[in-house]
């Protein structure tokens, strides 16, 4: 159910979709909804990727620290995150 009390049934789930944040790639699961002409509003549902990457949120400094493994760590400010999050193309 959405904030306006409307609801939608999902069309399906995309499993292990590769999401690139900086130089790190995280496999995430996405819930696909049929939305009416919402081309300017990105919508990702059911994505616990902050847990997957072991994220810590520092509200005082407004930063998210992600530790994907011992070799990779990423610290993002709010403004950096808006510019570097991009989905990778799907391979067919």
Task: Tell whether 71 is covered by a domain.
Answer: yes
Task: Tell whether 33 is covered by a domain.
Answer: yes
Task: Tell whether 7 is covered by a domain.
Answer: no
- Domain limits at 66? 12-85
E strand map for 1-92:
12-21, 24-32, 56-58, 63-67, 73-77, 85-87
Task: Tell whether 23 is covered by a domain.
Answer: yes
DSSP label at 77?
A: E
Task: Tell whether 3 is covered by a domain.
Answer: no
Task: Tell whether 91 is covered by a domain.
Answer: no
Q: How many domains does the chain have?
A: 1
pLDDT digits (tens, 9 = 90+) for 48-77: 777 777 778 888 887 777 776 555 555 656
Task: Tell whether 73 is covered by a domain.
Answer: yes
Task: Tell whether 4 is covered by a domain.
Answer: no
Residue 15 reports pLDDT greater than 60: yes
Kindly indicate the confidence band of residue 32, based on its pLDDT and cuts at 50, 70 and 90. confident
């Amino acid at each position: 159910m959405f904030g306006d009390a409307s609801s939608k049934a999902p069309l399906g789930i995309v499993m292990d979709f590769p999401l690139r944040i900086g130089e790190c790639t995280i496999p995430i699961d996405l819930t696909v909804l049929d939305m009416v002409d919402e081309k300017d509003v990105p919508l990702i549902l059911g994505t616990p990727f902050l847990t997957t990457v072991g994220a810590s949120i520092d509200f005082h400094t407004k930063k998210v620290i992600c530790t994907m493994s011992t070799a990779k760590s990423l610290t993002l400010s709010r403004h950096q995150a808006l510019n570097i999050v991009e989905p990778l193309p799907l391979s067919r």
